[in-house]
Chains A and B, each alone.
Chain A
Amino acid sequence: AQSVTQLGSHVSVSEGALVLLRCNYSSSVPPYLFWYVQYPNQGLQLLLKYTSAATLVKGINGFEAEFKKSETSFHLTKPSAHMSDAAEYFCAVSGFQKLVFGTGTRLLVSP
Protein backbone atom coordinates (compact mmCIF):
# COMPACT_ATOMS: atom_id res chain seq x y z
CA ALA A 1 0.00 0.00 0.00
CA GLN A 2 1.07 3.57 -0.61
CA SER A 3 1.19 6.32 1.98
CA VAL A 4 2.76 9.72 2.51
CA THR A 5 3.74 11.53 5.66
CA GLN A 6 4.04 15.27 5.77
CA LEU A 7 6.09 16.50 8.69
CA GLY A 8 4.74 19.67 10.22
CA SER A 9 1.15 20.74 9.92
CA HIS A 10 2.30 24.36 9.85
CA VAL A 11 5.46 25.97 8.52
CA SER A 12 6.14 29.67 9.02
CA VAL A 13 8.69 31.62 7.01
CA SER A 14 9.48 35.23 6.36
CA GLU A 15 9.06 36.70 2.91
CA GLY A 16 12.25 36.05 0.96
CA ALA A 17 13.29 33.08 3.10
CA LEU A 18 13.77 29.51 1.96
CA VAL A 19 10.68 27.33 1.93
CA LEU A 20 11.09 23.66 2.82
CA LEU A 21 8.07 21.39 3.11
CA ARG A 22 8.80 17.79 3.97
CA CYS A 23 7.23 14.67 2.53
CA ASN A 24 8.18 11.05 3.04
CA TYR A 25 6.51 8.27 1.16
CA SER A 26 5.98 4.57 1.42
CA SER A 27 5.31 2.53 -1.68
CA SER A 28 5.56 -1.11 -2.63
CA VAL A 29 6.15 -0.16 -6.26
CA PRO A 30 8.15 2.63 -7.92
CA PRO A 31 6.09 5.67 -6.96
CA TYR A 32 4.69 8.58 -8.82
CA LEU A 33 4.78 11.56 -6.48
CA PHE A 34 3.01 14.89 -6.57
CA TRP A 35 2.82 18.21 -4.79
CA TYR A 36 -0.43 20.14 -4.92
CA VAL A 37 -1.31 23.58 -3.58
CA GLN A 38 -4.73 24.60 -2.30
CA TYR A 39 -5.84 28.15 -1.67
CA PRO A 40 -8.83 28.75 0.63
CA ASN A 41 -12.11 27.43 -0.72
CA GLN A 42 -10.50 26.27 -3.93
CA GLY A 43 -9.57 22.97 -5.50
CA LEU A 44 -6.08 21.59 -5.87
CA GLN A 45 -3.51 22.88 -8.32
CA LEU A 46 -0.63 20.69 -9.41
CA LEU A 47 2.73 22.21 -8.53
CA LEU A 48 4.95 19.44 -9.81
CA LYS A 49 5.21 15.70 -10.28
CA TYR A 50 7.84 12.97 -10.25
CA THR A 51 7.29 10.18 -12.72
CA SER A 52 10.62 8.29 -12.63
CA ALA A 53 12.47 10.62 -14.97
CA ALA A 54 14.76 13.27 -13.52
CA THR A 55 15.03 13.15 -9.74
CA LEU A 56 15.04 16.95 -9.44
CA VAL A 57 11.69 18.19 -10.58
CA LYS A 58 10.90 21.81 -11.29
CA GLY A 59 7.37 23.05 -11.01
CA ILE A 60 5.36 26.20 -11.26
CA ASN A 61 5.83 29.37 -9.22
CA GLY A 62 9.52 28.64 -8.59
CA PHE A 63 8.97 25.43 -6.61
CA GLU A 64 11.05 22.32 -7.03
CA ALA A 65 11.33 18.94 -5.35
CA GLU A 66 13.94 16.24 -5.25
CA PHE A 67 13.15 12.54 -5.26
CA LYS A 68 15.50 10.66 -2.95
CA LYS A 69 14.87 6.95 -3.06
CA SER A 70 17.39 6.16 -0.30
CA GLU A 71 15.54 8.51 2.05
CA THR A 72 12.06 7.81 0.63
CA SER A 73 11.60 11.56 0.52
CA PHE A 74 10.17 14.11 -1.87
CA HIS A 75 10.63 17.45 -0.14
CA LEU A 76 9.33 20.65 -1.70
CA THR A 77 11.52 23.75 -1.77
CA LYS A 78 11.47 27.31 -2.99
CA PRO A 79 14.50 29.58 -2.61
CA SER A 80 12.58 32.73 -1.74
CA ALA A 81 9.09 32.80 -0.30
CA HIS A 82 6.50 35.24 -1.52
CA MET A 83 3.40 36.36 0.31
CA SER A 84 1.30 34.73 -2.39
CA ASP A 85 2.79 31.33 -1.50
CA ALA A 86 0.73 31.22 1.70
CA ALA A 87 -1.56 28.24 1.20
CA GLU A 88 -2.07 24.57 2.06
CA TYR A 89 0.31 22.14 0.40
CA PHE A 90 -0.38 18.45 -0.11
CA CYS A 91 2.03 15.72 -1.03
CA ALA A 92 0.50 12.71 -2.76
CA VAL A 93 1.57 9.33 -4.09
CA SER A 94 -0.14 7.48 -6.89
CA GLY A 95 -0.98 3.94 -6.08
CA PHE A 96 -3.20 1.52 -7.97
CA GLN A 97 -4.51 4.43 -10.02
CA LYS A 98 -5.63 6.33 -6.95
CA LEU A 99 -3.97 9.27 -5.27
CA VAL A 100 -3.13 8.98 -1.61
CA PHE A 101 -2.69 12.34 0.08
CA GLY A 102 -0.70 13.43 3.06
CA THR A 103 -2.35 15.43 5.79
CA GLY A 104 -1.18 18.73 4.37
CA THR A 105 1.13 21.52 5.51
CA ARG A 106 -0.07 25.07 5.89
CA LEU A 107 2.57 27.54 4.78
CA LEU A 108 2.44 30.89 6.52
CA VAL A 109 4.47 33.76 5.08
CA SER A 110 5.11 36.86 7.15
CA PRO A 111 6.29 40.21 5.79
Chain B
Amino acid sequence: GAVVSQHPSRVICKSGTSVKIECRSLDFQATTMFWYRQFPKKSLMLMATSNEGSKATYEQGVEKDKFLINHASLTLSTLTVTSAHPEDSSFYICSARFPTVNYEQYFGPGTRLTVT
Protein backbone atom coordinates (compact mmCIF):
# COMPACT_ATOMS: atom_id res chain seq x y z
CA GLY B 1 0.00 0.00 0.00
CA ALA B 2 0.84 3.72 0.16
CA VAL B 3 1.76 4.18 -3.47
CA VAL B 4 2.32 7.59 -5.01
CA SER B 5 2.58 8.07 -8.74
CA GLN B 6 3.82 10.95 -10.86
CA HIS B 7 3.13 11.77 -14.45
CA PRO B 8 4.98 12.27 -16.66
CA SER B 9 8.21 10.62 -15.62
CA ARG B 10 10.12 12.66 -18.14
CA VAL B 11 9.23 15.80 -20.08
CA ILE B 12 11.08 18.06 -22.46
CA CYS B 13 9.63 21.45 -23.24
CA LYS B 14 10.69 24.60 -25.03
CA SER B 15 11.66 27.72 -23.17
CA GLY B 16 8.65 29.94 -22.50
CA THR B 17 6.08 27.18 -22.43
CA SER B 18 4.33 25.73 -19.39
CA VAL B 19 4.36 22.16 -18.20
CA LYS B 20 2.13 20.37 -15.72
CA ILE B 21 3.23 17.53 -13.46
CA GLU B 22 0.70 15.35 -11.69
CA CYS B 23 1.09 13.63 -8.35
CA ARG B 24 -1.43 11.02 -7.29
CA SER B 25 -1.87 8.96 -4.16
CA LEU B 26 -3.17 5.68 -5.52
CA ASP B 27 -4.44 3.83 -2.49
CA PHE B 28 -4.96 6.44 0.18
CA GLN B 29 -6.34 9.92 0.54
CA ALA B 30 -3.79 12.62 1.18
CA THR B 31 -4.91 15.95 2.53
CA THR B 32 -1.33 17.13 2.35
CA MET B 33 1.20 16.66 -0.41
CA PHE B 34 4.66 18.10 -0.80
CA TRP B 35 6.67 19.17 -3.82
CA TYR B 36 10.44 18.92 -3.82
CA ARG B 37 13.11 19.87 -6.28
CA GLN B 38 16.38 18.03 -6.57
CA PHE B 39 19.42 19.35 -8.38
CA PRO B 40 22.01 16.90 -9.73
CA LYS B 41 23.92 15.19 -6.96
CA LYS B 42 22.12 17.32 -4.38
CA SER B 43 19.59 16.82 -1.66
CA LEU B 44 15.87 17.49 -1.88
CA MET B 45 14.70 21.04 -1.49
CA LEU B 46 11.13 21.49 -0.29
CA MET B 47 9.33 23.86 -2.62
CA ALA B 48 5.84 23.92 -1.22
CA THR B 49 3.23 22.18 0.87
CA SER B 50 0.00 21.46 -0.93
CA ASN B 51 -3.19 21.21 1.10
CA GLU B 52 -6.40 19.90 -0.39
CA GLY B 53 -8.92 22.65 -0.92
CA SER B 54 -6.67 25.51 0.06
CA LYS B 55 -3.74 27.50 -1.23
CA ALA B 56 -0.31 25.98 -1.18
CA THR B 57 2.29 27.18 1.26
CA TYR B 58 5.55 28.02 -0.47
CA GLU B 59 8.99 27.90 1.03
CA GLN B 60 11.06 31.03 1.17
CA GLY B 61 12.60 31.87 -2.16
CA VAL B 62 10.20 29.81 -4.28
CA GLU B 63 8.26 31.87 -6.80
CA LYS B 64 4.60 31.06 -6.33
CA ASP B 65 3.66 32.62 -9.67
CA LYS B 66 6.14 30.46 -11.47
CA PHE B 67 5.41 27.19 -9.72
CA LEU B 68 1.63 26.90 -9.53
CA ILE B 69 0.32 24.20 -7.25
CA ASN B 70 -3.24 22.93 -7.21
CA HIS B 71 -4.55 20.26 -4.85
CA ALA B 72 -8.07 19.83 -6.16
CA SER B 73 -8.83 16.43 -4.69
CA LEU B 74 -7.67 14.15 -1.91
CA THR B 75 -5.66 12.08 -4.36
CA LEU B 76 -4.29 14.60 -6.83
CA SER B 77 -1.92 17.54 -6.66
CA THR B 78 -0.46 19.25 -9.69
CA LEU B 79 2.62 21.40 -10.16
CA THR B 80 2.65 23.69 -13.18
CA VAL B 81 5.92 25.29 -14.16
CA THR B 82 4.92 28.43 -16.03
CA SER B 83 7.04 30.14 -18.67
CA ALA B 84 9.74 27.57 -18.17
CA HIS B 85 13.39 28.45 -18.66
CA PRO B 86 16.46 26.24 -18.86
CA GLU B 87 17.28 26.97 -15.22
CA ASP B 88 14.00 25.29 -14.26
CA SER B 89 15.38 22.01 -15.57
CA SER B 90 15.50 19.68 -12.62
CA PHE B 91 14.14 16.53 -11.01
CA TYR B 92 10.81 17.22 -9.30
CA ILE B 93 9.55 14.81 -6.67
CA CYS B 94 6.24 14.83 -4.86
CA SER B 95 5.25 13.11 -1.67
CA ALA B 96 1.97 12.50 0.09
CA ARG B 97 1.45 12.45 3.80
CA PHE B 98 -0.26 9.39 5.12
CA PRO B 99 -3.54 10.58 6.64
CA THR B 100 -3.35 8.91 10.03
CA VAL B 101 0.39 9.27 10.56
CA ASN B 102 1.41 12.90 10.39
CA TYR B 103 5.11 12.33 10.15
CA GLU B 104 5.04 9.72 7.40
CA GLN B 105 5.42 10.67 3.76
CA TYR B 106 5.42 8.47 0.69
CA PHE B 107 7.31 9.63 -2.35
CA GLY B 108 6.55 9.51 -6.02
CA PRO B 109 9.10 8.31 -8.57
CA GLY B 110 9.96 11.82 -9.72
CA THR B 111 9.68 13.79 -12.95
CA ARG B 112 12.71 14.83 -14.96
CA LEU B 113 12.04 18.22 -16.56
CA THR B 114 14.32 19.46 -19.31
CA VAL B 115 13.74 22.92 -20.74
CA THR B 116 15.44 23.58 -24.06
Contacts and interface: CB of A to CB of B under 8 A. Distances in A.
Interface of A: 32, 36, 41-46, 49, 51, 90, 94, 97-99, 101-104
A75 to B, nearest CB: 18
B114 to A, nearest CB: 12
Nearest to A9: B41
B63 interface: no
Contact of A103 (B42, B103, B107, B109): B42
Contact of A45 (B34, B102, B107): B107
24 contacts: A32-B103, A41-B91, A41-B110, A41-B112, A42-B109, A43-B4, A43-B6, A43-B107, A43-B108, A43-B109, A44-B44, A44-B95, A44-B107, A45-B107, A51-B103, A90-B43, A94-B103, A97-B32, A98-B34, A99-B34, A99-B95, A101-B43, A102-B43, A103-B43
Nearest to B32: A97
Interface residues of B, number: 23
Contacts of A102: 43
Interface of B: 4, 6, 32, 34, 42-44, 46, 49, 91, 93, 95, 97, 102-110, 112
> Do most interface residues of chain B lie in helix, strand or loop, or is the interface mixed?
strand
